[in-house]
Structure 1
């Protein structure tokens, strides 16, 4: 099912993606009714990355960069003593610098 879902993001434009998405709905609705209902509710948000240039689309729908950045922040924040962040503002400053 994930391989079929990934095909939506691999389409050249939004119209093609909508066709693939609706075919996905038709194929999997009986088996995964709850999931398909939820996807239909968020469909406009699901395809919003097609509003951006093709060169940056993969970075928008992929969370790999975000997850990587969060891991770096967690690792560096744990390495510092908690006393170095006496306020929330000091932690925000540290994260901003990173």
Structure 2
């Protein structure tokens, strides 16, 4: 399983019956949308108890996933950005879109130059913008990642 909660939700949806899909995904949302780590762990326990007999291959890996609750270590204002990975997915989609136009690259260096130019354009475009919640969490994040 992947470590981001939205990806886990999609994986779960693909491994269950269509008739159970909406309910199981809604139940899993309670795990990563809980107000605290403790409430999230409690929601996971309830989720597993409810679904383990019907879908053991879905619930068992969740118990052994050490990264499932990682986002709770960060400021609450950025939890959604961490568990959704929308920023990364949108940038990956953009790179795929532009690289398909090129169809092929003559060598690996030309592909590397193309990617670096895409990264540079992205960084310039978003250099002055702050993603939702990160501005509120700036001081706390600086303290968390302060190097001595």
Q: If the TM-score is normalised by the length of the shorter chain, which range does it land in?
A: 0.7 to 0.9
Root-mean-square deviation (CA, aligned residues, Å) is 1.9
Corresponding residue to 1:74 among 82, 96, 110: 96
**Off by >6 Å, runs of 4+ in structure 1:** none
**Which segment is superposed worse, 65-74 or 1-10?**
65-74
**Which segment is superposed worse, 23-32 or 86-95?**
86-95
SS of the equivalent of 2:89 reads: helix
List runs of 5+ in structure 1 lacking aligned partners: none
Contact 1:7 1:20 in 2 (8 A): yes
Partner of residue 72, structure 2: 50
- The alignment's TM-score, normalised by the length of structure 2, stands at 0.59
How far residue 93 of structure 1 moved from its aligned partner, in angstroms, is 1.5
Quick check: 1:19 aligned with 2:53?
no
- Name whichever structure is richer in helix by fraction: 1
